[in-house]
Amino acid sequence: MSSHDTSSPSSALGKREGQGGVSDRRWTIAWCHTADSGGSKRAAFEMVRELAKRGHVIDEYILRIGEPNLDHWPLTPFIRNSYRVSVPPLVNRYRPYLLAVWMGLLQEGQQMNALARQYHDLGSVLKTRGYDFVHLDHCFPSYTVQLTEHLSLPSMVYSHEATDARFQGQGLFDCSQGMPWVKRKYLELCNSAITKVAEVRRKHDLAGLHAAGKILTNSCYSREALYQRNQMDSSVCRYGVDVDTFKSLSLPRKRAVLSAGRIVEKKQHHLVIEAVATIAESERPCVIVATPETIERQEDPSYAHRLEQMAKDLNVNLEIRRKPHEHELVQLYNEVTALVFLPNMEPFGLVALEAMACGAPVIGVREAGIRESVIDGMTGILVDRNPDDAGRAIVRLLRDPELRDRMSRQAVEYVRREWVWAKTVDCYLREVERVMASLVPTGLH
């Protein structure tokens, strides 16, 4: 890592009330993240941008195994310095697969140990550079949070994915009793190694969270999941949306619904297709699936094929938009009748906010974080997880343009009032002040 001049610790500044009821104290922050795409990177980009606008000094530390994505929502316009701490991924070309997965377990341990050595050295470096505190973005299993075990500075961990439930069972083979005994035993041995890798990751992940000075998360659902996972308390600091980018363009509406997110089963795009198939063909809208820019590598090709075949079998007009640029996504939100957002237990769901900011009502599943952003009957319609309920909600908006327009106006007003990033950063800074105040010796008050 390169060296740079150390700024004076901002804790010496006086405390005065600034915007959002927080003090105007300027912090010097080491911001640690993985530089991936997705909601956590968008949140880092927006929070760092707002903090820099308020005069806080931020250095970026990219902590990861493998190469980061430096082009997607880069923090460089808003930071002082950028550093990288990483270890290269180990290539695993072993065959047969049974040997490969068990060697993968060994490699996992080697990489974790290599990161731990670097984190130990980094903890000392951060102390000498005059930071007030260290911020860590956490999304299991990113390894970033493990730095907390090597810090002597206060730490703020923002847990974007508060539960590892979506990783449990991922990649495991079906070992049903009907298959030949030898094949079943072979697959069981493979599953054993896959499970042990997940256990190693979870152990280190939880140790890092336990060492954190303060844990923040994006919704009440995430807070509850985090506590249920391992009795760890946290505070809710909700996401926002960039209302200067995501806004109503007053475009004509098409007979179409949008389903946004990675093309993986967890996002439940197939349920949207099934919902539209319940609508009479004379009224049936087309389905547009928009999968985010830069993360095509995370797509499940078999699921994409399944979606296309399902749409063909059910006579639903399906269009898949891969890697739309931000301005294209804004236009989509402005053109469709509604965003139909039915993912499995989504911790928050930034796309719901983006859609509402553009005036698209959200037909959302009544679960997890979506219940906290969509107001049923005002900014959208909450439904149970079944195609009939979602289909009826779509028909309701198609047949009642006055209701749809009213929800559109209310959604835009609601987001601009309650869900901007400035409010997120106000909440964040109040939590920082509580943590820092708790560290001041009693005799100095």
Each residue's pLDDT, cut to its tens digit, for the chain (445 residues) gives 543 333 333 433 344 455 667 788 999 999 999 888 678 889 999 999 999 999 999 999 999 888 887 888 899 999 999 999 988 888 888 888 889 999 988 998 898 889 899 999 999 999 999 999 999 999 877 789 999 999 999 999 999 876 665 455 567 788 888 889 999 999 999 999 988 988 888 888 888 999 999 999 999 999 998 888 778 899 999 999 999 999 999 899 899 999 999 898 889 999 999 999 999 999 999 999 998 755 555 677 889 999 999 999 999 999 999 888 899 999 999 999 999 999 998 888 899 999 999 999 999 999 999 999 999 999 999 999 999 999 999 999 999 999 999 999 999 999 999 999 999 999 999 999 999 999 876 544 4
How buried is 218 (Cβ within 10 angstroms: 0-12 exposed, 13-18 middle, 19+ buried)?
buried
Rounded to the nearest 5°, which phi and psi values hold at 21?
A: 75, 15
pLDDT of residue 294: 54
- Please work out, in degrees rounded to the nearest 5, the angle formed at the alpha carbon of residue 302 by the alpha carbons of 297 and 305: 105
Whether domain 10-240+422-438 has CATH 3.30.1180.20: the reply is no
pLDDT of residue 94: 86
Of 204, 116, 220, which is closest to residue 162 (Cα–Cα)? Answer: 220
pLDDT of residue 69: 78
Q: d(Cα 118, Cα 388) in Å, to the nearest integer?
A: 53
Q: How far is CA 77 from CA 46, 60, 132, in A?
A: 12, 11, 21
For residue 257 the two structure tokens come to 């619904």
Rounded to the nearest 5°, which phi and psi values hold at 318?
A: -115, 135
CA dihedral (258, 262, 268, 273) in degrees, to 10, reads 40
Q: d(Cα 57, Cα 30) in Å, to the nearest integer?
A: 9
Q: d(Cα 12, Cα 380) in Å, to the nearest integer?
A: 47
The CATH number fitting domain 256-419, selected from 3.40.50.2000, 1.10.580.10, 3.30.300.10, 3.40.50.150: 3.40.50.2000
pLDDT of residue 120: 95
The two beta strands, 235-236 and 155-161, are unpaired
Residue extent(s) of CATH 3.40.50.2000 domains in the chain: 10-240+422-438, 256-419
pLDDT of residue 4: 38
What sign results for the dihedral spanned by CA atoms 245, 251, 257, 263?
negative
Give the pTM: 0.88
Query: How many Å is the maximal CA-CA distance in the chain?
Result: 75
For residue 127 the two structure tokens come to 């102390």
